[in-house]
């Protein structure tokens, strides 16, 4: 495990509630139906650019979340009070990392900025 003093950020993991719409599609609810869990973490911006091609979002960012918390899944969202108004979504499955002597050590997840 990573020592707590090396995980200075408190973030909220938002697990969406899933339901089915009238067409049989799965709908994810990040509002009142979602569960929220606060965890200690390290957040860092790994990449940023401003592509100028037509039709592209002018702000491209990739972030990394590092935490001891094991229960994070793809499509969970991350909120951080130090950056109000910015929400990230876990992009793909998180990677649990292990050491030969300790077994599970920590979890890393790639994040992308999402709207709302």
Tell me the average pLDDT across 65-83. 95
- The radius of gyration computed from the CA coordinates of the chain, to the nearest angstrom, equals 16
Q: Residue 52 has what pLDDT?
A: 62
How many of the other CB atoms lie within 10 Å of CB of 90? Answer: 20
Sorting pLDDT into bands at 50, 70 and 90, what band is 14?
very high
Token couple for 116 = 């709302």
Q: Residue 8 has what pLDDT?
A: 97
Question: Has residue 24 got a pLDDT over 60?
Answer: yes
pTM of the model: 0.85
CA dihedral angle for residue 56, residue 75, residue 3, residue 45, rounded to 10 degrees: 0
Closest CA to 78 of 70, 91, 87, 69: 87
Mean pLDDT, the chain, rounded, equals 89
Q: In this predicted model, what pLDDT tens digit does every residue of 27-69 receive, in sequence order?
A: 999 999 999 999 999 999 987 666 566 666 556 678 999 999 9
The CATH number of the domain covering residues in 4-114:
2.40.10.270
More confident residue, 47 or 99: 99
Of the chain, the percentage scoring pLDDT greater than 90 comes to 69
Look at the alpha carbons of 26, 32, 37, 42 in this order and tell me if their dihedral is positive or negative.
Answer: positive
Question: Has residue 107 got a pLDDT over 60?
Answer: yes
């Amino acid at each position: 495990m990573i020592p707590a003093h090396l995980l200075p950020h408190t973030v909220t993991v938002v697990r969406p509630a899933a339901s089915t719409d009238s067409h049989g599609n799965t709908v994810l609810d990040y509002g009142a139906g979602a569960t929220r869990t606060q965890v200690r973490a390290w957040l860092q911006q790994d990449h940023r650019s401003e592509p100028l091609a037509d039709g592209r979002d002018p702000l491209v960012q990739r972030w990394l979340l590092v935490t001891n918390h094991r229960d994070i899944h793809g499509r969970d969202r991350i909120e951080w009070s130090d950056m109000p108004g910015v929400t990230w979504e876990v992009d793909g499955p998180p990677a649990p990392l292990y050491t030969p002597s300790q077994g599970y050590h920590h979890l890393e997840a790639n994040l992308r900025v999402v709207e709302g």
